[in-house]
Structure 1
C-alpha cells in the first residue's frame, strides 16, 4: 500500500504545470477589490486548456465569482467544487465478486491506447495481491499483439493463453475460460484488439466476446475497462459513448499519463460519462500503475 501511495504522489507531481498556471492567475487577481470580465474569461480559458471542458469551466467560474463576492478564499471553493464531482468515484475492482468464480478484466479501446501495456501492469498488480493470474490474448489477428503480450506476461511472471492466428476472438476467450477454470486461476485479463469506435463490425465482435464471458462468469466478477490515453481529449468521449452501446463499461483506466497530461479529463469523464476512474498508468515500468484516489488528486491540484 505504501508503495502504491508513493507512485500516486509521483504521478500527482506531473500536474504541476496545470496547477501553476491556475494558481498564478487566481493569486494575481484574488486580493484585488475587483476582477474584470476579461480576467474571468482568461481564467475560464485556462481551465478549458487543462482539459476540464467548457461546461465545467463555466460552472467553476460561477462558483469563484460567488466566492469572491463573499470575500472567501479561492482554494476552499475550488477544492469543494472539484471534489464534489468525483468524491463518489468508486475505484474498487470487483467490489461484489463471487469467490466461487474467477474474476475477469476485459481491456478495450482504440489502437494505441496502451491496452497491452496496461494488461502487463495489471497482471503484476493482481499477482502482488496473491492472485493466480493469466493474460488472455484476444487480439488473434495480429501476431505482434500476442508477442507483445507474451513479453509482458514474462515480466509479470504470469501465465499467458494464446490462440492460433485468425481464431475468432469469442472462441479464443471461451477456450481460455475453460482452461482458467481447469487450472484454478483466480484472475484473467483479456487483451482485446484495438477497435475504432465508429466500426460497427468490430464493436459487434466485442459484443459477442462479452456475451461469451457473461455465459460463463457472473457480472459481479467482470470488469469491462475502457482504456483511454490521458491525452485523448474529446475523442475519449466519443469512444465511450459508442462502445457503451455494445458492452457495459464498468470503469475507465487512464494510460500514458506524463507531464503533458493536464488532469482535467478526470472530471470530464466522471461528470459527462458517469463512469468511475479505476486505474491510472504512467511510464513504461511494470510498477507504474495505481488505483485512483479522488481526494488526493483534488488536493494535489488545488493546494
Structure 2
C-alpha cells in the first residue's frame, strides 16, 4: 500500500506545473470585474506553454469568455473546466490487449526517437506484466547501442524474465524474428521488443522500423499486437512531429509518456488525445523498475482542476 501511495505521489507531481498555472489564471479572471484583451491573451499563452497546443488553448479561452458572461452567483469555473477536459480524454483506454485472443502470444513493440527511455520502459513493462502472471520475453532489437543491449539484459534479470539478444551488428528485423521464435520455444507468450531510437525525419530508419513492424504482424494476430510510441513528457510540439512520422511507419496503438515529473507540463496529454486520437497508456514516473503507472484520465483531470491529490 505504501508503494502504491509513493507511485501516486510521483504521478501527481507531474501535474503541479499545469495545475499552478490553471488555478492562478482562471481564478483571477473569474473573479475580476473588468478584463482587457491582454488578460485573455495571457490565459491563452499560459495554456499554450502548458503544452495544450494553440487549437485547444483558443477553444478554452473562447468558451471561458462565454461562461464568464453568463456567470451566476453560484457559478463554478472548475466544474466547467473539469467537464471540458474530461470530455477530451473520454474514451482513453489505458489497457493493453483488450480484445486479444485468449491463449495466443502477444507482442509489444516500443518505438520512439533517441533518448526517450524506451529501454527503461521495456524493463518496467516486463516487471509489470510478470507480476500479473504473464510469461514475458524481452527482445533487444536496438542494434545501434551496445549499451542498450546490456542495459536491457539487466532489466530482464530484475524483472525475472527471458532475455534474447542477437549477434552484434545483426539486422534488427532478424533479431525480432529469432527472438519471437526463441520466446515461443521457451513458452514465453508475452514478447516485449525494444527498438533503437530513430529520428522521425530519417526515411531510411523509418523504413527499417516499418520492416520490423511487418515481421511482428506476420507472427501475431492484429489484436495481439500493441505498437506503442514512447514520448518524453517534456517534448512539447516535437512530440506531434514524432507521432505523425512514426505513425506512418507502423500503426500506433497508443502512447507512453516517459520522464513524468514536476517538470512535465501535463497539457501534452490532452493534445495527444485530441489531435492524434491516441490513447495514453502509461506514465513513467521515475527511474526504479516499479515506477510505471497506468494512466487514469479522471484522476488526472481532477488533480489539475480541483484542490485534491490522487489518493
Is the TM value for this pair above 0.5?
A: yes
The whole-number CA distance in structure 2 between the counterparts of 1:181 and 1:80 is 46
The whole-number CA distance in structure 1 between the counterparts of 2:4 and 2:136 is 20
The answer to whether the 8 A contact 1:140-1:164 is kept is no
- Structure 1: where are the runs of 5+ without partners? none
The whole-number CA distance in structure 2 between the counterparts of 1:189 and 1:23 is 40
RMSD over aligned CA atoms reads: 1.5
- 1:69, distance to aligned residue in structure 2 (A): 1.2
- What TM-score do the two structures reach when normalised by structure 1? 0.96
Tell me the secondary structure at the aligned position of residue 244 of structure 1.
Answer: helix
The whole-number CA distance in structure 2 between the counterparts of 1:32 and 1:139 is 55
List aligned pairs for 1:37-116, cutoff 5 A.
37-71=37-71, 72-116=75-119
Residue equivalent to 2:158 = 155
- Name which of 212, 216, 233 aligns with 1:213: 216
The whole-number CA distance in structure 2 between the counterparts of 1:123 and 1:150 is 11
The whole-number CA distance in structure 1 between the counterparts of 2:49 and 2:143 is 39
The answer to whether the 8 A contact 1:102-1:221 is kept is yes
List aligned pairs for 1:138-149, cutoff 5 A.
138-149=141-152
Alpha-carbon spacing, 1:14–1:240, altered in 2? closer, same or farther (3 Å): closer
Residue equivalent to 2:11 = 11
The count of residues paired between Structure 1 and Structure 2 equals 303
- Name which of 270, 273, 282 aligns with 1:270: 273
Moved over 4 A (4+): 1-6
- 1:206, distance to aligned residue in structure 2 (A): 1.0
Residue equivalent to 2:264 = 261
The answer to whether the 8 A contact 1:141-1:167 is kept is no
- 1:6, distance to aligned residue in structure 2 (A): 5.5
Moved more, 127-136 or 94-103: 94-103
List aligned pairs for 1:138-217, cutoff 5 A.
138-217=141-220
The answer to whether the 8 A contact 2:141-2:172 is kept is yes
Alpha-carbon spacing, 1:282–1:198, altered in 2? closer, same or farther (3 Å): same
- 1:31, distance to aligned residue in structure 2 (A): 2.1
- What TM-score do the two structures reach when normalised by structure 2? 0.94
The answer to whether the 8 A contact 2:255-2:282 is kept is yes
- 1:14, distance to aligned residue in structure 2 (A): 3.1
- Structure 2: where are the runs of 5+ without partners? 307-311
The answer to whether the 8 A contact 1:103-1:186 is kept is yes
Residues 275-298 of structure 1: CA deviation (Å, up to 9, x unaligned): 111111021011110111111100
The whole-number CA distance in structure 1 between the counterparts of 2:79 and 2:46 is 19
